[in-house]
Chain A
């Protein structure tokens, strides 16, 4: 059981480029969550998805950020026209059902915008 897989582990983008972060949930998990961790801050919820559906995107910035979890393939967090303030660690987590038992986290993608 490979756990939650995120790639890439590190991503460097120039200002204005696009960043695509991938997350494959644990086998058997159909719920995916994205969190952002800024330096010296805790994890901030961004979005919750099930297959082909966005359930809760209350933590997503209104512009430049989008997420999907297609029927086949990993969940993608996409950041368009990145800015320096987007530099952070982005964590994906998954759960098998409604998440009452807690989440399993991936190792994160550390995005650096130069």
Chain B
């Protein structure tokens, strides 16, 4: 069955430090992969997505993610974290139904805390 694992429940980094959030997926075919961010009390905002092509994808707010098929990973990175990046981050994989529509399976999230 398709699944997404985010092994880190909480991560704390200092402002200005680099960040990497891990995501591993289980999917039989080439996956559609997404990262979303959720600020407290808010809905989810799409950061970036991967469908095919270049395995390094750029997103909003200075984030990027790299698809590594051999490791079944899609880790999210940012070279220098800002205090406003404190939020919860969700990785998701798109599961294609036989009808051609997509259902998204989400990981349990990683809560990022940024120290001043």
- Chain A interface residue count, Cβ-Cβ cutoff 8 angstroms: 27
A107 touches B49 (CB 8 A): no
Question: Which residues of chain A in 38-77 are interfacial with respect to chain B, using CB atoms and an 8 Å cutoff?
Answer: 40-45, 48, 55-56
CB distance from A78 to the nearest CB of B (A): 21
Answer yes or no: B108 CB below 8 A from chain A CBs: yes
Pair A98/B101 contact, Cβ less than 8 Å: yes
- Chain B residues close to A by CB (< 8 Å): 4, 6, 9, 32, 34, 36, 41-46, 49, 51, 90, 94, 97, 99-109
| Interface residues in chain A, defined as those with a beta carbon under 8 Å from any beta carbon in chain B | 4, 6, 31, 33, 35, 40-45, 48, 55-56, 91, 93, 98-108
Closest 5 CB pairs of A and B: A99-B102, A105-B43, A42-B108, A105-B44, A43-B106
